[in-house]
Amino acid sequence: MNMIDTTFGVSPRVLALRSQRSALIAANLANADTPHYKARDIDFGRALANAAGDAPGTLRRTSERHLGLEGGTGSSSSSSAIAGELRYRIPAQPSLDGNTVETDREHAAFMDNAIRYQASLNFLNGRIQGLKLALRGE
């Protein structure tokens, strides 16, 4: 466990996953008129558990020098955590051209994700400000 993990906990991973989810939702919206495009999203809870190494059935590294499942050393990135949790959305009303993007649903998901991203960012900023005050002795 490194200093960032002990100081900030899971917040940096949450920001990275929220950013990746935002990109997925934006891609869905960009392809709203593409025939046969399948809308994608992630199971955020599972992706976060994978990024944190708390997913059921996963091995926990006790040293940064231990090999990971991806063959490298160090902790797994959030992009590898998101890869296993990528899901296709099932539309409430399928379109004739096979596209599964529902723009209203995507806009709502994008706004929800943006609000949660901002809340995580504010929390992390508060932690950083607290550390600055502690370092200055205030």
pLDDT tens per residue, range 40-62: 999 888 888 887 765 444 555 66
Average pLDDT score over the chain: 81
3-state secondary structure of 124: helix
> Region 26-50: what's the mean pLDDT?
92
pLDDT more than 90, % of the chain: 44
pLDDT class of 120 with cuts at 50, 70, 90 = very high
CA distances from 34 to 39, 88, 104 (A): 11, 15, 16
Res 48: pLDDT: 83
- Is residue 98 within 8 Å of residue 35, measured between CB atoms? yes
> Region 80-91: what's the mean pLDDT?
76
Tell me which H or E stretch contains 130: helix 103-136
- Is residue 47 within 8 Å of residue 3, measured between CB atoms? no
Tell me which H or E stretch contains 12: helix 11-30
Res 85: pLDDT: 79
Cα distance between residue 129 and residue 122, in whole Å: 10
* pLDDT of 16 strictly over 50: yes
> Region 76-98: what's the mean pLDDT?
75
In degrees and rounded to multiples of 5, residue 35 shows phi and psi of -60, 140
CA distances from 106 to 36, 52, 67, 91 (A): 17, 27, 38, 11
pLDDT class of 71 with cuts at 50, 70, 90 = very low
* pLDDT of 129 strictly over 70: yes
Cα distance between residue 108 and residue 115, in whole Å: 11
For residues 46 and 78, the model is more confident at: 46
- Is residue 29 within 8 Å of residue 100, measured between CB atoms? no
